[in-house]
Amino acid sequence: MAQVSIRINGRSYDIACDDGQEERIQALSNYVDERVKEISGAVGQIGEQRLLVMTSLLIADELGNAHEQLETCRQEQVAVAEPGSLSAAESDALAENMENMAARIEGIAAKLNQH
């Protein structure tokens, strides 16, 4: 098990992590530190514990928004996959787009076969 020394809000913390995860932990701690600095700049130093709680809530809110966007994308994909869910114009546009992509793929394959 590896150990990483991180710095958040001017304080150092030694964190244990799986081998090979050191860079990831460092990047995450840098992100958290940036968010702490943003909140601290907006509300001032309100105590480390409160500051970290507010930062955690902010990051949780960002994560929640990302999950909602992902779910919206998934639902849109399901809607496209369901027969009859597209209008005629949407179906035509999708078919044309697919034909263009197929032509491009065939062109690339032909070039690859020439070499």
Please tell me whether residues 11 and 66 are part of one structural domain.
yes
Mark whether 115 and 72 lie in a shared domain.
no
Q: Quote the distance between the C-alpha of residue 65 and its chain's center.
A: 10
The whole domain housing 36 covers 2-82
Residues 106 and 53 in one domain: no
Q: Are residues 57 and 26 in the same domain?
A: yes
Q: Spell out the residues 6+ positions from residue 45 whose beta carbon is closer than 8 angstroms to its own.
A: 51
Is residue 70 located within the same domain as residue 92? no
**Total domain count for the chain?**
2
Angstrom distance (rounded) from CA 47 to CA 24: 27
pTM confidence score: 0.62
| Both tokens assigned to 21 | 């995860």
C-alpha 48/C-alpha 61 separation (Å) is 20
Same domain, 62 and 92: no
43 and 97, same domain (yes or no): no
Question: pLDDT tens digits for 51-82?
Answer: 999 999 999 999 988 988 888 887 777 766 66
What would the pLDDT profile of 23-60 be if each residue is shown by its tens digit?
A: 999 999 999 999 999 999 999 878 989 999 999 999 99
